[in-house]
Amino acid sequence: MRTISVGLGARTYPICIDRGLLTRSELLLPRLEQRKVAIVTNSTIAPLYLESLAGALRGAGVVVVPIVIADGENHKNWQTLDSIFNLLLEYRCERKTTIIALGGGVVGDLAGFAAATYQRGVPFIQIPTTLLAQVDSSVGGKTAINHPHGKNMIGAFHQPRLVGADTATLDTLPERELSAGLAEVIKYGLIMDAPFLAWLEVNMEKLRARDAEALSYAIARSCENKAVVVAADEREAGDRALLNLGHTFGHAIEAGLGFGTWLHGEAVAAGIILAARLSQRMDLLSAGEVERIAQIVRRAGLPTEAPDLGEDRYLELMGHDKKVEDGNLRLILLRAIGKAFVTADFRPGDLRKVLAGAAAHA
Ligand SMILES: NC(=O)c1ccc[n+]([C@@H]2O[C@H](COP(=O)([O-])OP(=O)(O)OC[C@H]3O[C@@H](n4cnc5c(N)ncnc54)[C@H](O)[C@@H]3O)[C@@H](O)[C@H]2O)c1
Ligand SMILES: [Zn+2]
């Protein structure tokens, strides 16, 4: 088992990564405040993994309340959250009842927001089952739902007590979802870990073939990078924003096409290319570096060209970004592979040209 610690003082928690971890109730038990949990999962994951986890917990004397929601990003909304609250109340879940998210980022974000707000906050555990959730969304305590005006607009910071990534669950993950997770993995290399990007360039085929050791290494290395950033800036007052490389563009793509049309990771991948092209226009990256980024994105099975939403629509959607400050759009750009920075200091004309380029390529 690989273990990484997210250092947040009294709220420090471990990320445990291993095959078969789902049934090891001894990992979870010491983290529970009461022998009762509510497991939030969805209709796709429940038949695959709910009984393994619930059975192991019941075997250890824990009362389990299963809450199964509909599958899909379009259900990451207020209505689903309300249905979770209804069941928590109906089954008399208390302040010490732990909410466990069993699923991908959608389940994690919804269950996490429920845990942050139910009875003003209850203990929370993440059991991520997608690559994206294992390398990114389950770590760091951001929880949210979408609003028709924008992604993740309503939410809270609420750190889990434990993140348990069972890499065996990735065996059933559809290939398109595996690729989407690789977008966030590549992101860590680009923003802060050039040697990891070089490792990915050597090992991309192994990852796509689900080589267990390669996946476990990539997950652990991604979590190590995220843990460093989160420990230094839990609430995104500064450098945590770097984790959003490609995301301002990506969120515009997701919202512009309708949530769920492109996967989050696909939109982020195309967004990373747009950020790289803007960096190139500002003479920060060379054409060769932009091509190197496009190549690794392509090899991960991800899109390198953003859809044509029209420049004006892109700008309108990007204006809803949470990084907008005093009305100014701030973007994450690259000054080298492995070195990202946040800036509002780019020429609007350059941004328009990059967005117009999206139309030209589409
Ligand atoms: N909170 C954060 O810090 C953070 C970070 C990144 C992304 N996110 C959010 O995460 C979400 C995307 O997460 P995601 O990519 O995991 O998508 P997802 O949760 O929609 O899961 C993808 C699909 O895979 C299915 N699935 C999950 N595990 C499976 C398994 N083991 N086998 C077979 N099928 C499985 C799901 O049911 C779903 O259909 C977005 O809403 C995004 O905003 C949050
Ligand atoms: Zn993301």
Residue located nearest, by CA, to atom 22 of ligand 1: 104
Q: Which residues contact 250 (CB under 8 A, 6 or more apart)?
A: 264, 267, 268, 269, 270, 271, 272
pLDDT tens digits, 165-185 = 999 999 999 999 999 999 999
Residue 83 CB burial class (10 angstroms; 0-12, 13-18, ≥19) = middle
By the 8 A CB rule, do 196 and 221 touch? yes
Active site residue 151: no
CA-nearest of 94, 120, 292, 330 to 189 is 292
Q: How far is the CA of 214 from the centre of ligand 1 (A)?
A: 21
By the 8 A CB rule, do 111 and 214 touch? no
Which atom of ligand 1 is found nearest the CA of 265? 15
pLDDT of residue 345: 93
Task: Single out the catalytic residue among 36, 76, 142, 330.
Answer: 142
What would the mean pLDDT of 86-95 be, rounded to a whole number?
98
pLDDT of residue 56: 98
Asked if residue 294 has pLDDT above 70, the reply is yes
Q: What percent of the chain has pLDDT over 70?
A: 99
What would the mean pLDDT of 31-50 be, rounded to a whole number?
98
| C-alpha to C-alpha distance for 113 and 128, rounded to whole angstroms | 15
Asked if residue 104 has pLDDT above 70, the reply is yes
CA-nearest of 336, 296, 332, 294 to 194 is 336
pLDDT of residue 17: 98
Q: How far is the CA of 183 from the centre of ligand 2 (A)?
A: 8
Which atom of ligand 1 is found nearest the CA of 181? 15
What would the mean pLDDT of 207-233 be, rounded to a whole number?
97
Quickly state the pLDDT bin for 359 (edges 50, 70, 90): low
Q: What percent of the chain has pLDDT over 90?
A: 91
Nearest ligand to the C-alpha of residue 138? Answer: 1
66: DSSP letter? E
pLDDT of residue 357: 79
Q: How far is the CA of 352 from the centre of ligand 1 (A)?
A: 31
Task: Single out the catalytic residue among 75, 158, 187, 240.
Answer: 240
Active site residue 247: yes
| C-alpha to C-alpha distance for 318 and 356, rounded to whole angstroms | 14
Active site residue 264: yes
Mean pLDDT, the chain, whole residue set: 96
| C-alpha to C-alpha distance for 103 and 42, rounded to whole angstroms | 7
| C-alpha to C-alpha distance for 283 and 286, rounded to whole angstroms | 7
Radius of gyration of the chain (CA): 20
CA-nearest of 221, 157, 234 to 192 is 221
Active site residue 147: no
pLDDT tens digits, 118-158 = 999 999 999 999 999 999 999 999 999 998 877 899 999 99
Q: Show the ligand 1 pocket: residues with CB < 6 angstroms.
A: 42, 44-45, 48, 71, 73, 76, 103-107, 109, 129-130, 132-133, 136-137, 140, 142, 151-152, 169, 172-173, 177, 180, 264-265
CB atoms within 10 A of CB 161: 19
pLDDT tens digits, 203-219 = 999 999 999 999 999 99
Taken as a whole, the chain contains a residue count of 362
What would the mean pLDDT of 186-193 be, rounded to a whole number?
98
Asked if residue 195 has pLDDT above 70, the reply is yes
pLDDT of residue 361: 61
Asked if residue 160 has pLDDT above 80, the reply is yes
Q: E strands within the chain?
A: 2-6, 13-18, 36-42, 63-69, 98-103, 124-128, 142-147, 150-157, 162-166, 331-336, 339-343
Asked if residue 362 has pLDDT above 60, the reply is no
What would the mean pLDDT of 87-114 be, rounded to a whole number?
98
| C-alpha to C-alpha distance for 39 and 53, rounded to whole angstroms | 9
Rounded to 5°, the CA angle 305-310-311 comes to 95
Active site residue 240: yes
pLDDT tens digits, 275-288 = 999 999 999 999 99
